[in-house]
Amino acid sequence: MFAIFKREVQSFFTSPIGYLIVGLFLLLNGLFLWVFKGDFNIFDYGFADLGNLFLLAPWIFIFLIPAITMKSFSEERKVGTLELLLIKPISVWKLVLGKFWGATLLCVIAVLPTIIYVFAISDLGIIPGNYDLGVVLGSYFGLLFLIALYTSIGLFSSTISDNQIVSFIIGILICFLIFNGFEAVSSLFSGESQQIIQSLGAKSHFESIARGIVDTRDLVYFISLTIFFLYLTFLRLKQLPQ
């Protein structure tokens, strides 16, 4: 598994894609948070708060993570190297996990520089350092779980077709439906039914963790769904001719 993980990380940073993804994530966040006028702009928001970062990041990752993972198995199938990987003395499950952790690490690397925003927010407040550290840590914690979920979805999408663009579009669609689809559907209902439908989506669980309250139900949701899509990826690879 480590060999696959190392190979994935090297493939990201020996080609422009790794630097492009990291740079694009930071650029989009920086422009929306600090430059462009609008709801996400921290100066227009009027409060020294990082909440807008964690409102924006999940939507950016809906597009960036499928872009990272679309070639994971699609390209391997297209050039014929997937068959070589499947006949090597490594289990299919370890192959999936190696690619999963490689893509996840790239996303974590993209998020790390945003920690500087915490220090910027700290100095922008009327009283320096007057911000809720628990909420900030909870938001980063929730974002890591969301990244893992998106990555597992992206890997599964890359097994569906040997066309990277098709895999990319499918990945975006599934990530969007999991994150916001249930909340959109819940607006058609009211009362307890609305809450139940909302709880099926990732957005409500992410927002719960982002409030700084770590509920085991939220953790179980993300871990279970991530494992589910990784298992679907495993089953799909087992079905492919070797």
**Cβ count within 10 A of residue 51:** 18
pLDDT at 10 over 90: no
Mean pLDDT of the chain: 86
Residue-number span of the structural domain to which 81 is assigned: 1-239
pLDDT value at residue 42: 72
Q: How many helices (H) and strands (E) does the chain have?
A: 14, 0
Answer yes or no: are the C-beta atoms of 68 and 182 closer than 8 Å.
Answer: no
Binned at pLDDT 50, 70 and 90, residue 127 comes out as: low
pLDDT digits (tens, 9 = 90+) for 173-191: 999 999 999 999 998 888 8
Residue 54 CA to residue 145 CA, distance in Å, equals 13
pLDDT at 38 over 90: no
List the structure tokens of 214.
């770590």
Instruction: Count up the domains in the chain and report the number.
Output: 1
